[in-house]
Structure 1
């Protein structure tokens, strides 16, 4: 970061990456991500009304991504070293980490939902019901929040929730923080990647072996899951790799804290790609999502035409 950090080992780390990169990058992600997630939220809600169970996961994913997107202006203020309320700093920090891992859980749910629908179309129908999707989504949110609280308590950050330490952690990383991040890397990244990759491989294998499924439908399902998986890996692999290196090398070592600081700050910014691209990918590839978007556009055109006709008739009445 731009400012120097000091801790018990009198370690000083200076970086200009945050101030130079974050305002531009986060502004761009906000401009793209906010309308994209609002559109995805609308599409998901309309699909849920039509009985689409997978849209429940998309709705929750959009809410998670939207919360993170809304918090980006606060991160921009912090990067520019402008004063931010300490409680707000703690809130946006919790939102960021919860969005990371709630999103991971929901992407796993989407992958498993498609896996059951394609590989076992005549079985597990109750798992793919809308009510089940609601319960699973609640479980994902609840488990992530509980795990986050436990980890914050373990590192001692929960006792200082209203302080800026949640946004500006001490350098070098402590052993407790290292344990925290190792747990996150395994449970919050490696396990979801394994689940999504397994589901994708099994789905593609089943699609290739099923002559009853049209080639176009196979391609749509495969492209959707592949893009979601690749976007997730591209967005989070740099961050998780740097965090793994920090957890292994940094505790008590100021030299590694200095070397890994810039890569860490850059990798944090790349995670925002996921929250911006997920809704765009789904809305562009999903045929049902495209139908709802077209309906919304047609409805908007109808409202605009009616408003213009009303203005014209009012103007004529005024003249006469």
Structure 2
């Protein structure tokens, strides 16, 4: 999405060229809005992600293997937030590589979303195999592969081809997990009825995680894929700004994973809501 920013003095698609207002790396009519949104996302996301990573780390120390991929997902979000911080603090925006770093963070994020969905699928569809094969060592090895694989895919394009070819490769990389996520969702739902060894509350949490992953991917990443592959979308200023904002919301959206990983968190929220409703009904009857 480098065309959305002020890099090397180049102006972007869909931006009013007569407006040279500059806020960090953002310029044009929507510069101030994007600048403020980026600051808000950074200020909210940074402390919450750090707290979630620390909390999940203590779960791993208690021999819970599941949060490993979620921790790496949050680390990739932290990486994206650091890139966003440069966007709003670097007024010259001469270091265009920061946008490539952000691409890398997004690709790693999608990779760990697939890992989370795959792990939840194995818990339901193949519980015995997963129980005896899951180890922190194997999770760490897979995590290293997920961090390295995007570099192996995109780096040759970045070094040997044009920027447009690199963006196309980036879009294709983000698009490929979509059918896999759909398959994992369908396979998990089909296996739910025969999964006798998995408690009912665990089943609800697993389905909730898969639904959240699919919603995050569909709502936040698909618009970016459409924007990257369609020239007409790039010429639409409103769609370009909305697409950028959705991508920036990815770190905040991924925090919902932490909520569903914590056992009893959702039940406590529902219980609190039910209690509030009951108290409200009692007050109404007394009136």
> Structures share a fold, TM > 0.5?
yes
Aligned to 1:83: 92
- Specify whether residues 204 and 6 from structure 1 end up closer, same or farther in structure 2 by C-alpha distance, changes over 3 A only: closer
1:144 counterpart = 2:178: no
Match of 2:164 among 178, 182, 185: 178
Tell me, in whole angstroms, the C-alpha distance in 2 between the residues paired with 1:17 and 1:53: 47
18 and 137 in structure 1: CA distance in 2 versus 1, 3 angstrom threshold = farther
CA drift at 1:203: 1.1
1:14-163 pair list within 5 angstroms: 14=17, 16-77=28-89, 82-84=91-93, 86-87=94-95, 89-90=96-97, 92-125=98-131, 127-155=133-161
Q: Secondary structure of the equivalent of 2:166?
A: helix
C-alpha distance in structure 1 between counterparts of 2:221 and 2:243, whole Å: 8
Q: 1:63 to 1:25 in 2, by over 3 A?
A: same
Shift of residue 114, structure 1, vs aligned partner: 1.1
Q: 1:182 and 1:71, CA in 2 relative to 1: closer, same or farther beyond 3 A?
A: closer
Contact 1:22 1:76 in 2 (8 A): no
Q: Which runs of 5+ in 2 are unaligned?
A: 20-27, 267-287
**Alignment counterpart, residue 222 of structure 1, candidates 171, 186, 207:** 207
Aligned residue pairs total 251
Relative to the length of structure 1, the TM-score reads 0.69
Match 1:197 to one of 148, 172, 182: 182
Secondary structure of the residue aligned to 1:52 is: coil
- Whether the 8 Å CA contact 2:65–2:134 is kept in 1: the answer is yes
Tell me the CA shift for residue 288 of structure 1.
4.0
- CA distance in 1 between partners of 2:152 and 2:5 (Å): 33
Q: Distance in 2 between matches of 1:2 and 1:273?
A: 17
Structure 1: runs of 5+ lacking an equivalent: 156-175, 250-255, 292-320
Distance 1:144 1:183 in 2: 10
Render the CA deviation track for 1:7-43: whole Å, top value 9, x for unaligned.
9xxxx97372541321111112112211221122112
User: C-alpha displacement at 1:101, in angstroms?
Assistant: 0.4
